[in-house]
């Protein structure tokens, strides 16, 4: 599954940069049409996360994941067949659903297979994913230098092929035991416990108000992605004296730091209580990053470079610590018999941020330097609110998947 993650992100890295250029240069869309297409398809794709989680409580997660990967490939290849805006929007929306679903499904697979070692697994997963992004980005840069229709189409096809490859690799992964299917007596997996769990009616995350509030706070904390990917390049251009070439260098720095530190940091969030404790330093990192963003507009060229680098480092460490805490807390707060449904709802946080995050960040940029400290204070308040929110649930140890060794799945 780590190899699957690497190939998946390599393919995505190839296509992500070329996507808007393909629509403008090959299909002759206007910038407004491209923005509308990406926004609407992303909004529709939000439904993919809870849908995948619900299905994963009823059917083998590996089979659903394979279907999602193949649907991603088919929807992407369909873009080659037309230049009609309506059809391109339809195919993009269809592709967005399994794209969001696959994130939840891979997380659920890890939670079931890695058991108590799930935080360390997630750290390795993020590391190889960032390596994949870097490799894909380098390949895209080489292809985009040609700036031809063939180059754009080649990147699209390469990404579609990566989905087909990971679907084939997923076939080789054994199906982990599903607590919900064990509880209902519907699993026949040889890896299931010898004594089935007594039938239990699965809980619904939609009626679990504390979990919904937790998910809402998560949507706020995922905004570091929008700041790094969208906000920082725009802020450099419109509000600072820093060189334009600094933006891609800071993104490279972000990936490098994740590769170097994500796994070592994982040990600080290996339990639900430890993950909750991480929310305090997370608040400090968010506040530091936002204050540095504001400071970057107040000085000369080199002051701006130093402040922006500080912001990038602080927000990258915030990203890594939040990934560790979010992973552990979301699994710990989910009842075992409805794990898929709960993680699917939790997946709405990242999906919502992808759609709404860029809008919020651009609004902050438009408001000027004073808006960054306010955003930082909002981050800090959200971290502290989440810390208090989850405290009420963590004293009752959540049911967990029995530890499963790698050898049991060979």
Indicate if the pLDDT at residue 145 is higher than 80.
no
pLDDT tens digits for range 86-121: 999 999 999 989 988 888 888 888 778 877 777 788
pLDDT tens digits for range 374-384: 999 999 999 99
Residue 181: which pLDDT band, with cuts at 50, 70 and 90?
A: low
- Computed over every residue of the chain, the mean pLDDT equals 83
For residue 317, what pLDDT is reported?
Answer: 96
Q: Is 300 exposed, middle or buried (0-12, 13-18, 19+ CB in 10 A)?
A: exposed
Is residue 167 within 8 A of residue 292, CB to CB? The reply is: no
Residue 178: which pLDDT band, with cuts at 50, 70 and 90?
A: low
Cα 201 versus chain centre, distance: 30
pLDDT tens digits for range 315-368: 999 999 999 899 889 888 888 778 788 888 888 888 788 778 878 888 898 899
For residue 157, what pLDDT is reported?
Answer: 94
Helices (H), 231-278: 232-239, 246-266, 272-277
pLDDT tens digits for range 60-72: 889 999 999 999 9
89-93, 229-233, 387-391: the lowest-pLDDT one: 229-233
For residue 180, what pLDDT is reported?
Answer: 54
Pick from 49, 61, 12: nearest CA to 218: 49
Residue 179: which pLDDT band, with cuts at 50, 70 and 90?
A: low
CA distance 234 to 31: 17
For residue 187, what pLDDT is reported?
Answer: 40
For residue 410, what pLDDT is reported?
Answer: 33
Indicate if the pLDDT at residue 235 is higher than 60.
yes
Q: What percent of the chain has pLDDT over 90?
A: 33
Indicate if the pLDDT at residue 295 is higher than 90.
yes
Produce one character per residue of 52-85: b if its CB has 16 or more CB atoms within 10 Å, e if not.
bbbbbbebbbbebbbbbbbbbbbbbbbbeeeeeb
For residue 319, what pLDDT is reported?
Answer: 93
Tally DSSP H helices, then E strands, for the chain.
Answer: 18, 0
Average pLDDT for 198-205: 56
Residue 232: which pLDDT band, with cuts at 50, 70 and 90?
A: confident
CA distance 78 to 93: 12
């Amino acid at each position: 599954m780590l190899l699957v993650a690497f190939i998946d992100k390599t393919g995505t890295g190839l296509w992500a940069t070329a996507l808007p250029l393909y629509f403008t240069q090959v299909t002759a869309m206007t910038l407004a049409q491209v923005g509308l297409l990406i926004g609407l398809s992303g909004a529709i794709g939000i439904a993919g996360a809870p849908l995948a989680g619900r299905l994963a409580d009823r059917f083998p997660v590996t089979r659903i994941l394979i279907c999602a990967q193949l649907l991603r490939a088919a929807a992407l290849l369909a873009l080659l067949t037309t230049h009609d805006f309506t059809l391109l929007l339809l195919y993009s929306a269809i592709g967005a659903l399994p794209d969001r679903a696959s994130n939840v499904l891979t997380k659920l697979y890890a939670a079931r297979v890695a058991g108590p070692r799930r935080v360390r697994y997630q750290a390795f997963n993020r590391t190889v994913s960032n390596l994949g992004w870097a490799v894909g980005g380098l390949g895209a840069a080489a292809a985009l230098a040609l700036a031809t229709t063939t180059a754009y189409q080649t990147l699209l096809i390469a990404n579609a092929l990566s989905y087909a490859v990971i679907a084939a690799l997923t076939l080789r992964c054994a199906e982990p035991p599903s607590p919900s299917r064990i509880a209902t007596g519907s699993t026949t997996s040889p890896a299931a416990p010898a004594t089935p769990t007594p039938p239990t009616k699965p809980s619904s995350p939609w009626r679990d108000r504390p979990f919904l509030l937790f998910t809402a706070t998560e949507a706020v904390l995922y905004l570091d992605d929008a700041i790094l990917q969208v906000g920082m390049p725009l802020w450099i251009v419109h509000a600072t004296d820093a060189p334009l070439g600094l933006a891609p260098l800071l993104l490279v720095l972000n990936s490098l730091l994740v590769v170097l530190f994500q796994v070592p940091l994982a040990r600080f969030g290996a339990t639900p209580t430890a993950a909750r404790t991480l929310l305090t330093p997370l608040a400090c990192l968010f506040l530091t990053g936002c204050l540095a963003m504001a400071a970057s507009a107040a000085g000369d060229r080199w002051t701006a470079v130093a402040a922006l680098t500080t912001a990038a480092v602080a927000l990258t460490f915030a990203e890594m610590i939040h990934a560790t805490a979010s992973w552990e807390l979301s699994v710990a707060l989910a009842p075992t018999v409805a794990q898929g449904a709960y993680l699917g709802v939790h997946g709405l946080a990242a999906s919502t941020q992808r759609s709404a995050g860029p809008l919020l960040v651009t609004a902050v940029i438009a408001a000027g330097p004073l808006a960054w400290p306010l955003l930082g204070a909002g981050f800090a308040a959200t971290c502290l609110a989440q810390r208090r929110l989850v405290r009420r649930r963590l004293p009752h140890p959540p049911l967990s998947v029995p530890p499963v060794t790698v050898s049991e799945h060979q």
